[in-house]
Structure 1
Amino acid sequence: VVVAHAFNPSTQEAENKRKQDSSKASSSTMKPPRSSLIGTVRVVVKYMMQMYKMKKPILKADVLKVITKEHRKRFFEILKKASFNIEVVFGVDLKEVDSIKHSYTLVSKMNLPNNGTVTRGRGLPKTGLLMNLLGVIFLKGNCASEEKIWEFLNKMKIYDGKKHFIFGEPRKLITQDLVKLKYLEYRQVPNSHPASYEFRWGPRSHAETSKMRILEFWAKINHTVPSAFQSRYDEALRDEEERAGAAGILSDTLIHGS
């Protein structure tokens, strides 16, 4: 997700100084440990996703084996960074199973088939992409034009007609696969000439997640809080109240009968 920041002329001098300091640091005092820590996090992410695909538990003892000796004391910091990356890219949460054995498992935020890969065979979870798209649709007033969707995807370096190393062929994924699975609705705008199309949430998205969860996901990616999206936050709160009310009515019906 790309976050736009307003340019403030009064900060230009400070920005120039920061660039000079950064340039000096890059030429003389670059610290390998930070670079190797980032590399270690990537290795851990790759290992954890392999365990997820094989539906195997993640053990601290096994993760330590892929971490360089100099960084093993920073296990929990590395685990936190790796789990954040996995959550925002793949839409998968790290859950602790056993606090004594330090055993963990990865759980998808939604129930896409084939462990989140959508189609059978090799591949990586598409849940993160779906949740990003649901966020765009929600923030655009619960309906996003195809043009706006592609503008957003292009910022993520996902392009129409170009196979992505994680998400495969994006047009097929968002206009066919996720539509057939009822996670997205893709329809022609009425009376549009030439034909233009728009996206909405599908019924399975309404069933498996909520506007507030999607807003929380977007807030985490952008290092902010859900209430920062003020107009949509109020709508998400109303949606939560309606869901709670509907759940209460259903519960009363099941207990007391109609």
Structure 2
Amino acid sequence: MVANLMKFLLFKYRAKEMASEVEMLKKVLRDNKEHFSVVFSQASECLQLVCGVEVKEVDPREHIYIMVPTLGLTCDAMLSSGKSMPKAGLLVLVLSLIVQNGDCTPKEEEGYLEYRQVSDNDPARFEFLWGPQACTETSESEVMEDLLRVNQWFSRAFPPPSAEAVKEEERSPDPDKQPS
């Protein structure tokens, strides 16, 4: 249900259309209203993390939503066929890496980043910095807040195993290992 709702919301995003809860329930969740809040929440988080698209409620009374690029970035490269995913999620991750690594990182992305050669390196090494477009549209604090949301989501989605589970795994023999 989450994957189907994500597809539906991406379709609406590409078409620059709003989506209503009623429409999502009818077309995607087949009137499973009891699952809506959980599925909608998970689909929204995945869209933000993977695609760099936030789902925002524009009419709380009618429960109508619009999809917008994360952090207000205008970078949203998609193929003209509309079959590609929005690229802002990748950009946010690259900008987060730059912030975490002392304002530079050796990864490449277009327009929003500056590319420069690091001096005194043999062989030559290159790095990326925040470009003027990224500085205009967002800030390091907004990127760090977004990174914190991503980390919190991953912590909830993939919690560390309990101490009991770790002990149990250590006691159980590995079924893939053959006795010698």
Specify if TM > 0.5.
yes
Match of 2:77 in 1: 117
- Where 2:127 maps in the other structure, the secondary structure is strand
Match of 2:94 in 1: 133
In the alignment, residue 59 of structure 1 is paired with which amino acid? S
Summarize deviations over 1:117-140 as a string: whole Å, max 9, x none.
Answer: 256443221111101100111110
In the alignment, residue 77 of structure 2 is paired with which amino acid? T
Match of 1:211 in 2: 140
Summarize deviations over 1:92-122 as a string: whole Å, max 9, x none.
Answer: 111112122211100112111xxx1256443
Give the unaligned 5+ runs of structure 1.
1-39, 150-170, 225-258
**Aligned partners of 1:187 and 1:193: how far apart in 2?**
15
Shift of 1:193: 2.1
2:158 counterpart of 1:221: no
- Where 1:223 maps in the other structure, the secondary structure is helix
What does 1:88-127 align with in structure 2 at a 5 Å threshold? 88-109=49-70, 110-112=73-75, 116-117=76-77, 120-122=80-82, 123-127=84-88
- Where 1:214 maps in the other structure, the secondary structure is helix
In the alignment, residue 222 of structure 1 is paired with which amino acid? N
Q: 1:118 to 1:48 in 2, by over 3 A?
A: closer
Shift of 1:89: 1.1
What does 1:167-206 align with in structure 2 at a 5 Å threshold? 174=109, 178=110, 181=111, 183-206=112-135
Shift of 1:219: 0.7
What does 1:49-88 align with in structure 2 at a 5 Å threshold? 49-65=10-26, 66-69=28-31, 71-88=32-49
**Higher normalized contact order (CA 8 Å, seq sep 6+, divided by chain length):** 2
Superposed CA RMSD: 1.7
Shift of 1:61: 1.5
Conserved? CA contact 1:94–1:107, under 8 Å? yes
- Where 1:111 maps in the other structure, the secondary structure is coil
**Aligned partners of 2:12 and 2:131: how far apart in 1?**
30
Higher helix share: 1
TM-score by length of 1: 0.54
Q: Among the aligned pairs, what percent are the same residue? A: 32
- Where 2:152 maps in the other structure, the secondary structure is coil
Shift of 1:143: 1.1
Aligned residues: 149
Give the unaligned 5+ runs of structure 2.
154-180
Higher strand share: 2
